[in-house]
Amino acid sequence: MSTKLKMSLLTGFLALGLMNCQTVPYYHYLAYADGSTLPATAWVRLPDDAPQHSSTINSDYQATGNALLPAMDAHRQAIGAAAISAAVLIGDEVVWAATTGWSSVEDNIAASPATRFRIGSTSKALTATGLARIVESGELGLDTPLDELWNELPNKDWADITPRQLASHTAGLPHYGENTELSGLLQSVALQTHYDSVHDALSVFDESDLLFAPGTDFFYSSYGTVLNSAAMSKAADKPYLELMNELVFAPNAMDTVVVAPADPTSLTNMATPYHSNWKAGDRLRLRPWRHVDLSHRLAGGGFAATSTDLVKLGRSYFGNSNPDAISEVIREEFWTPQKISSGEVNEQGYGLGWRVREEEFISGQNLRYVNHGGVSRGGQSWLMLLPEVEMAVALNINSRTDEFWDFGSFSFDIARAFLLQQQALMSETQKRR
């Protein structure tokens, strides 16, 4: 958006605001786009000496975790985040969790491994895991048309859409900005309305046009994941959150996952989300993000969690460590990049709720990793699973970076360090034999 256009819109919204206070959320949306028009008050400077907390659950990895902590704080400083949180799971065990920085700068509250962060679209990996469990149970087929689940669909154009298409972003659903339902588009800007159920949240986009015929193209859509969560709820005849607790959170002891609160201070151990002035060094300033309600996008971008709980999601997939893990057949189907009707793999190599990549983490060892990242109001999140070595790595911050990978790249440093230590431990075990 050009500066001229932005200032014109701000002027218009401010003028309307004199007549109607309901325009304030729309002013905030524009003002928080880059912070240039926000009042000078409320900006805070990050203190120099950040509190640090490292918890090594498995002593075999203590030296590795301790060595990473200074580098993690240097990374936090480099990207201008108030706090950064990380965790690693190997097999069934969370072996390391650490934080540096502040959950709340203004109140001088240090972040800890118990601190929750807004995880944005990493929520899609949680929903995909619930979907995999329902598919495994036989309650829902990936290729079941939605009109077989609803007596009357909210949008007749959704009739032939399937859970597979929704989970792979090939259904033609719009993302936030492409929503042609004006009231829903305005809601995704204001972010002030709370939705108690995923079925209620469909009203935000149920009158929007499809972008293309289902299955014929790829377009990333959080609303597609919201619709999928409603399909899951219909198939199981249970509320979505109840279903997720039963199938994903409780079995994996993911006790901290919650609907991200509009007011972070209303929840214990919730990090304050921050907006940055995007400046470096001593000129960097942060301010708390405005209160926003993300319940309309819950399944695709509205959860909050600790890094520790995010890595526990690996327990649902690591069959060597967990006999109750998702079956290999279902797991591999979800981790296979999906094709559109032309026969081509979609442009992002997207599976079902997961992206699939390969990386040479350590010399001579290429490993597949499945992942999802998330960007939220005042938060960024990253989760990746390395199934061949049964390792999961999560990273979270309570602010945002201009380029996502400026934040996420440190997850590779973490993975390399723990992979090397894992190899050393395996070698030592073999020698003892």
Taking only the tens place, the pLDDT of each residue in 348-382 is: 999 999 999 999 999 888 999 999 999 999 999 99
Q: What is the pLDDT of residue 41?
A: 62
Report yes or no on 46 lying in a domain: no
Which stretches does DSSP call E strand in 379-418?
A: 379-386, 391-397
Which residues does 278 contact at the CB level (< 8 Å), separation at least 6?
34, 35, 80, 402
Q: Please list, residue by residue across 162-187, b when 16 or more beta carbons sit within 10 angstroms of its beta carbon and e when fewer do.
A: bbbbbbbbbbbbbbbeebebeebbbb
Check whether 234 has a pLDDT greater than 60.
Answer: yes
Q: Indicate if 18 and 60 belong to the same structural domain.
A: no
Closest CA to 302 of 408, 194, 407, 410: 194
Average pLDDT over residues 242-258: 98
Check whether 323 has a pLDDT greater than 90.
Answer: yes
Return d(Cα 168, Cα 162) in angstroms, integer: 10
Average pLDDT over residues 403-425: 96
Could you tell me the residue range of the domain that residue 14 belongs to? 1-37
* pLDDT averaged over every residue in the chain: 92
Report yes or no on 113 lying in a domain: yes
Report yes or no on 219 lying in a domain: yes
Q: Indicate if 259 and 337 belong to the same structural domain.
A: yes
SS3 sequence of 94-116: EEEEEEEEEEECCCCEECCCCCE
Q: Indicate if 5 and 135 belong to the same structural domain.
A: no
Return d(Cα 358, Cα 49) in angstroms, integer: 37
Q: What is the pLDDT of residue 360?
A: 96
Sole residue written with tokens 């602010």: 399
Closest CA to 391 of 415, 362, 374: 415
Q: Indicate if 98 and 234 belong to the same structural domain.
A: yes
Q: What is the pLDDT of residue 427?
A: 84
Check whether 28 has a pLDDT greater than 80.
Answer: no
Report yes or no on 42 lying in a domain: no
Q: What is the pLDDT of residue 5?
A: 43
Q: What is the pLDDT of residue 25?
A: 56
Check whether 96 has a pLDDT greater than 60.
Answer: yes
Q: What is the pLDDT of residue 364?
A: 87
Q: Indicate if 27 and 162 belong to the same structural domain.
A: no
Ramachandran angles phi, psi of 77, nearest 5°: -65, -40
Ramachandran angles phi, psi of 51, nearest 5°: -65, 145
Written as six digits, the tokens of 119 are 């995880």
Q: Indicate if 309 and 374 belong to the same structural domain.
A: yes
Return d(Cα 215, Cα 88) in angstroms, integer: 36
Q: What is the pLDDT of residue 19?
A: 43
Q: At what angle do helices 182-190 and 24-31 cross, to 10 degrees?
A: 70
Beta strand 391-397 with 258-259 is unpaired
Between the two ends of the chain, the Cα-to-Cα distance in Å is 64
Report yes or no on 43 lying in a domain: no
Least confident of 5-19, 55-69, 265-279, 391-405: 5-19
Least confident of 49-53, 63-67, 361-365, 387-391: 361-365
Domains in the chain: how many in total?
Answer: 2
Q: Indicate if 28 and 61 belong to the same structural domain.
A: no
Asked whether 356 and 336 are in contact (CB, 8 A), the reply is yes
Residue type, 295: S
Check whether 45 has a pLDDT greater than 70.
Answer: yes
Q: Indicate if 159 and 190 belong to the same structural domain.
A: yes
Q: Indicate if 11 and 64 belong to the same structural domain.
A: no
Q: Indicate if 24 and 172 belong to the same structural domain.
A: no
Q: Indicate if 194 and 242 belong to the same structural domain.
A: yes
CATH number at residue 192: 3.40.710.10
Report yes or no on 406 lying in a domain: yes
Return d(Cα 412, Cα 361) in angstroms, integer: 7
Q: Indicate if 114 and 172 belong to the same structural domain.
A: yes
